[in-house]
Amino acid sequence: MSDNNKKSIFEVGIIGAGAITTTLHLPLLSAMDGVNPKYIVDVKNPTDLAKIYKIDSYDTKNLEKLPDCDIVLIATPVGVREQYIKEFSKRGIPIFTEKPFAINFDDHKKFLNYSNSIACNYMKIGYNSSKLFEEIISSNIFKNIKKISIKEGGIVGKTNRGSDTYQSNKKLSGGGVILEASCHTLSVLSNIFENISVTDSKIIWEKELDVEAKVSFKVEDESSFPIEYIITLIQPIENGTTIYYENCYITFDHSNPNSDFEIHNYKNQKIFVIKNEFEFASSSQQAYYLVWKNFIDKIKNGEKLDVEKLTSIKTTEIISKIYEMDDKK
């Protein structure tokens, strides 16, 4: 592989031609300065998609014969990811993966042993709402936190997924709503709180997939406080985070990249609104761009990568603990 420090155009190989690739990664990479998609790979050769972007296409039968590239995007289901990480790590090619990074903590550590140049797309860390959340916590302007409550999801009855989708196959998806959706929120919490641990977990299962989780966390940073978290696919719920203080509480929608923050007193009166004026990501597309640009810039500049942070190993550790604590009941 050529010296990335001298590259003017980074060529990206893409493994996985699913919805996340076709709707976000391919359009973004095609539009970014200094980046070109080089080829795309899937179980069945995605020739039609490749023609649209005028790139080469291959199936997955002979991984070792796939061309080299400057960076490879691995956007396959997490349950079949290891073979691709091994192959491109062996070639010394930097790897960018879709979330979640790994099914469990042991797999996460194993993947990092393969590659010292790897990152994961936990892009919601870059949301303006996540940045303002972090700023409010770190500033301690409202003094000690009493509790944080986080809710997300919404009723969809059954999993609402066809039997032929990877999400309905545990061997491919690795799990249900926790791995598929919670990982984003947990990555934000892991990024903000250095010392956060799981204290309790209650999971509802539909066959072999988790469809709801109620999780209790304890944060032990400058002060100690609990976080109560629920994610569900089987009951109506409104996405939102509430931070409780002694004399007020703050509400915002953590799923909204550009959410404003409302401050209330305990008479249920809205006191004022903190307008979100951060200039990070105000949309999912911007968040994807920022994560990609950050990784490419680090590779281009020859930086030593903190792969535990770039792949959010703390997020995977938390997910593993959530499943483990439910298993013990």
Which numeric CATH code is attached to 124-281+316-327? Answer: 3.30.360.10
As a whole number of angstroms, the distance between CA 276 and CA 299 comes to: 31
As a whole number of angstroms, the distance between CA 147 and CA 149 comes to: 7
Please determine, for residue 157, whether its predicted confidence score (pLDDT) is greater than 50: no
- Write out the H or E segment, with its range, that includes residue 71: strand 71-74
Task: From 211, 253, 217, select the one nearest 232 (Cα to Cα).
Answer: 211
Q: What is the pLDDT of residues 192-211, one digit of tens each?
A: 999 999 999 999 999 889 99
Q: What is the pLDDT of residues 250-288, one digit of tens each?
A: 999 999 999 999 999 988 777 888 887 878 999 999 999
CB 257 within 8 A of CB 284: yes
Specify the pLDDT at position 163.
Answer: 52
Q: What is the pLDDT of residues 53-82, one digit of tens each?
A: 999 999 999 999 999 999 999 999 999 999
As a whole number of angstroms, the distance between CA 38 and CA 195 comes to: 41
Which residues lie below 8 Å from residue 140, measured CB to CB, with a gap of 6+? Answer: 222
Q: What is the pLDDT of residues 297-306, one digit of tens each?
A: 999 999 999 9
Q: How many CA atoms lie within 13 A of 14 on its CB side?
A: 28
Per the prediction, the chain carries an average pLDDT of 91
pTM of the prediction? 0.92
Within 32-104, residue ranges assigned H as helices are 47-53, 82-90
As a whole number of angstroms, the distance between CA 206 and CA 101 comes to: 23
Which numeric CATH code is attached to 4-123+285-305? Answer: 3.40.50.720
Please determine, for residue 4, whether its predicted confidence score (pLDDT) is greater than 80: no
Per cent of the chain over pLDDT 70 is 91
Residue of higher predicted confidence among 266 and 327:
266
Residue with tokens 């204290």: 199
What residue segments make up the domains of the chain, in order of their start? 4-123+285-305, 124-281+316-327
Query: Do 4-123+285-305 and 124-281+316-327 agree at the fold level?
Result: no
Specify the pLDDT at position 159.
Answer: 41
